[in-house]
Structure 1
Amino acid sequence: MNTFDMRLSQTLSPKEIKRQEAIFELVQGEQDLVEDLKLAKKAYHDPMRTLCIMTEQELNQIFGTLDSLIPLHEDLLSRLRDARKSDGSTDHVGHILTQWLPCLCEYTPYCSNQVKAKALLDQKKQERRVQDFLQRCLLSPFSRKLDLWNFLDIPRSRLVKYPLLLREILRHTDNEHPDRQRLEEAMVTVQSVVADINRQTGESECEFYKERLLYSEEGPKHELIDRSRTLSCHGALKNHRGVKLHVFLFQDVLVITRSVSASEQPIRYQLCRQPIPIEHLELEDLSDGEMRVGGSIRGPFSNNERTKNFFRVSCKVGGQSHCLQASDAFNKQQWINCIRQAKDAASTSQSQTTSPAAAPNEPADQTSDNALQNGTDDVNGHDLEKEQAKDMEVEGDTSVALEEGMDRGDERLLENGVEEVCGEIPAGEPENVEEKQDLNRAEMDSIQETEEIMQEDS
């Protein structure tokens, strides 16, 4: 597709052509986003409400404030189209962006809700009617083989791209260009807005998982967990016996748990051992093929493949030690990086507390301020600033990969952060075969109607 009249390109410099292409990418992305948001509402939300596949309350929790984002992006798309000249080129977009970008604050409730939305959606997927409906949608052409969560995650994915898109336009805008100053102002605005959303999303995710921790024998909550406001990273790991664990690295404490699931109940996380304060945490990167646990001995695995990607965490006080296995080398390195950053931040914080006049040239890792500290995502959310940096290296969206399975390899390596709920949830199932067949026909009719609407729109 041509971004503008090819005859015009003959009169433009190569740099200006690149600028026009970057602007076109911004506009095209807005158009795609609006279409996908409308699709999520027409093809998923509305039919599930009409067919009573989910309750109104459940739909509100899963879809959040998605409705409010549609007119927001329609407005930007309209402004950008109005700024385009008849030949397809655009002289100025800076003034549009400086006026519109503050509206992105409306993303805060949507992104902050994603961790709860993902958990509820995963839980509801265990119900047969929900499974059947979503599977039929997935097989329909309008879905493009994307599942519901892919569509619900599109706004967050778009949000983290704005700084990258603006940076690309700026890169091809001369310093003398009249649009330059406004674009620089827009860049400052979008970085500030995204950072604020990232912070609030991280706090929301942290609270979500704190509420789902189970303490042994009704014991008191751990002080360091209770006062944590950010979650550096979390995800599935295995111990040296192959037992699956779910590990949380809060800002001041490492917590090792096992997931506990029951029918019709959200997943909870049972603490396995005493949490390890970061200030007492020791980290060791173990070589592939050999595990050293309290000495130089091999682990119980005879197959060398099973002894890869281990690292060890231990506590200076109390003596507990854990050899943990990541799903792959990249996963392992991400864990090691997160833990090292948390230790550096704790060390810096302690030195500043005990010695206010510390030398100003000492390096201080700003873990508390960066996106890694503000919530890696099982949903999302929401390692937003980290994802911006990653997007510069690899096409598509990625996030800190601390989980075993991948829901969308080209989008996010940490999509499925919680284990599937075990057991079937029979609530809402029809009592007889005829009633079930009637419901299936209604669902098929709804999906077919959606396909027809999509064809008309296209």
Structure 2
Amino acid sequence: MIRTEQSYVRNLNILYLVFKKPLQESLLVTEEHLNLLFYNVDEIIISSTSLLNTLVEQGKNFENDQTIAGSLLSLIPFLELYRNYTLNYRKCQNLRLELLEKDKIRAWLEKQYENPQCQNLTIESYLTLPIQRIPQYFYLLDEILKCTDGEDPEYEKIEMALSMVKEISEEVSVALKEQDQLETMNKISKKFTDYQIMKIGRIYYHDGELVKICRKERKKRLFYLFSDVLLYTQNVQAIGAKLNFIQSASRFQSIFTNNQGHP
């Protein structure tokens, strides 16, 4: 627990020191956009650092009556920070896309990525850290509750904390799914030179290799289905491949949907 919390706090500080603070000083974004992008990050760093310090102190004195459960219970006042961060993260998805499409910001980020502290991770990877941490807290509290006697005075508090974390975890799962889609689209966009994949409101559904029946032979094609367009390319391996076909996806979506009507 202490090791994972140390790693979490260390990476949160990288988010602040390598991205938030320098971006603020660069004046490339407005203060309003900066606060939306890094919503509650400062407060989350403070709460997580406090939790880490408590865990370290308790780790020095195992005969103390306090337990790891007591430490995690100190999270309760801060859980609302995580809820608000997650909701804001989802709400600002379009803003992140808009900013990342700007040449000056993309160039600035590429320079920041050269910092060894980044560990070859993107700003998006660091922004999702608080979202990814909630399921881990849920697992820990769930395990602690199973090992706690129902008569223990801390049992009800642990149960309450678990209930709150579970509720936030459900919101987090939606946010993570949306982030996975965004990362997939970003990877796909790097394969093409002649079409803008990253577009506000566009949703990635599915991709796969199909065989196109031509006059002389059958040829492999790689297809990408989005909410508004169906794309395919001849060269399925090369970076910088060009698209051969673009058409509205509305007439094709029924092919890729299941019996509930979802892609």
Tell me by how many angstroms 1:41 deviates.
Answer: 1.3
Q: Is the 8 A contact 1:83 1:90 kept in 2?
A: no
1:30 aligns with 5
Amino acid at match of 1:43: V
Q: 87, 90, 96: which one pairs with 2:71?
A: 96
Residues 211 and 219 of structure 2 are in contact (CA less than 8 Å); yes or no, is this contact kept in structure 1? Answer: no
Structure 1 residue 197 and structure 2 residue 130: aligned?
no
3-state SS, counterpart of residue 145 of structure 1:
coil
CA distance in 1: counterparts of 2:107 and 2:224, whole angstroms: 38
Specify whether residues 131 and 235 from structure 1 end up closer, same or farther in structure 2 by C-alpha distance, changes over 3 A only.
closer
Structure 2 counterpart of 1:188: 159
Distance apart, 1:169 and its partner CA: 4.7
| Partner in structure 1 of residue 100 of structure 2 | 125
Mapped to 1, the partners of 2:202 and 2:85 lie a distance apart of: 25
Could you tell me whether the CA contact under 8 Å between 1:62 and 1:118 is conserved in 2? no
Q: 1:308 and 1:132 mapped to 2: Cα distance?
A: 30
Which residue of the partner structure matches residue 397 of structure 1? none
Q: Does 1:323 align with 2:254?
A: yes
Aligned residue for 1:107, secondary structure, equals helix
CA RMSD of aligned residues (A): 4.5
Kindly provide the amino acid, as one letter, of the partner of residue 137 in structure 1. Answer: Q
Gaps (5+ residues) in structure 1? 1-24, 206-230, 237-260, 271-287, 290-298, 311-319, 326-334, 343-401, 403-458
Does the CA contact (< 8 Å) of 1:301 and 1:307 recur in 2? no
- Check whether the contact 2:54–2:71 (CA below 8 A) recurs between aligned residues: yes
Task: Name the counterpart of 1:162.
Answer: 137
The residue number in structure 2 matching 1:140 is 115
Equivalent residues of 2:145, 2:155 under 8 A apart: yes
Shift of 1:184: 4.8
For residues 313-362 of structure 1, the C-alpha deviation after alignment (integer angstroms, 9 at most, x for no partner) is xxxxxxx984344xxxxxxxxx749x38x9xxxxxxxxxxxxxxxxxxxx
Q: How far off is 1:167 after superposition?
A: 3.5
Question: Which structure shows the higher helix fraction?
Answer: 2
Is 1:267 aligned to 2:242, yes or no? no
Which amino acid letter does the alignment assign opposite residue 159 of structure 2?
A: V
Q: Quote the offset at 1:116 in angstroms.
A: 3.2
**Structure 2 CA distance for aligned equivalents of residues 183 and 304 of structure 1:** 65
Tell me if the contact between 2:212 and 2:221 (Cα under 8 Å) persists in the aligned partners.
yes
Contact 1:170 1:183 (C-alpha < 8 Å) held by counterparts:
no
State TM-score, norm by structure 2: 0.63
Identity %: 20
Q: CA deviation at 1:33?
A: 1.8
2:191 aligns with none
User: Aligned partners of 1:165, 1:268: CA distance in 2, in Å?
Assistant: 36
Q: Does the CA-based 8 Å contact 2:37-2:92 persist in structure 1?
A: yes
Length-normalised TM-score, structure 1 = 0.39
1:67 matched to which residue of 2?
Answer: 42
Aligned residues: 217
Deviations 1:223-272 (A, max 9, x none): xxxxxxxx99x969xxxxxxxxxxxxxxxxxxxxxxxx899xx72469xx
Cα 1:235–1:159 shift into 2, 3 Å:
closer
Distance 1:38 1:77 in 2: 13
What is residue 5 of structure 1 aligned with on the other side? none
Matched, 1:42 2:17: yes
Larger Rg over CA atoms: 1
Question: Which deviations, in whole Å up to 9, do the C-alpha atoms of 1:171-211 show, x marking residues without a partner?
Answer: 6x4869xxx946754553343213433566799x8xxxxxx
Distance 2:172 2:142 in 1: 24
* Structure 2 partner of 1:359: none
Residue by residue, what CA displacement relative to the aligned partner does 1:334-393 show, whole Å, maximum 9, x if unpaired?
x749x38x9xxxxxxxxxxxxxxxxxxxxxxxxxxxxxxxxxxxxxxxxxxxxxxxxxxx
RCO comparison, higher one (Cα < 8 Å, 6+): 1
Are the counterparts in 1 of residues 113 and 120 from structure 2 also a CA contact under 8 Å? yes
Within 5 Å, give how 1:317-396 maps onto structure 2: 322-325=253-256, 336=258, 339=260
Pairing 1:52–2:14 present: no
- SS in structure 1 opposite 2:29? coil
Partners in 2 of 1:135 and 1:65 — Cα distance? 25
Query: Structure 2: which 5+ residue stretches go unaligned?
Result: 183-195, 226-250
Find the aligned partners of 1:72 and 1:104 in 2 and give their Cα distance. Answer: 10
Say if 1:118 and 1:149, in contact at 8 Å, map to a contact too: no
Shift of 1:52: 1.3
State the shift of 1:166 in Å: 2.9
Give the conservation status (yes or no) of the 8 Å contact 1:72–1:103.
Answer: yes
Partner of 1:151: 126
SS of alignment partner, residue 254 of structure 2 = strand
- AA partner of residue 148 (structure 1): I
- Asked if 1:301 is matched to 2:242, the reply is no
Q: Conserved in 1, the CA contact under 8 Å of 2:134 and 2:168?
A: no
Taking a change above 3 Å as real, the CA distance of residues 86 and 324 of structure 1, as seen in their structure-2 partners, is: same
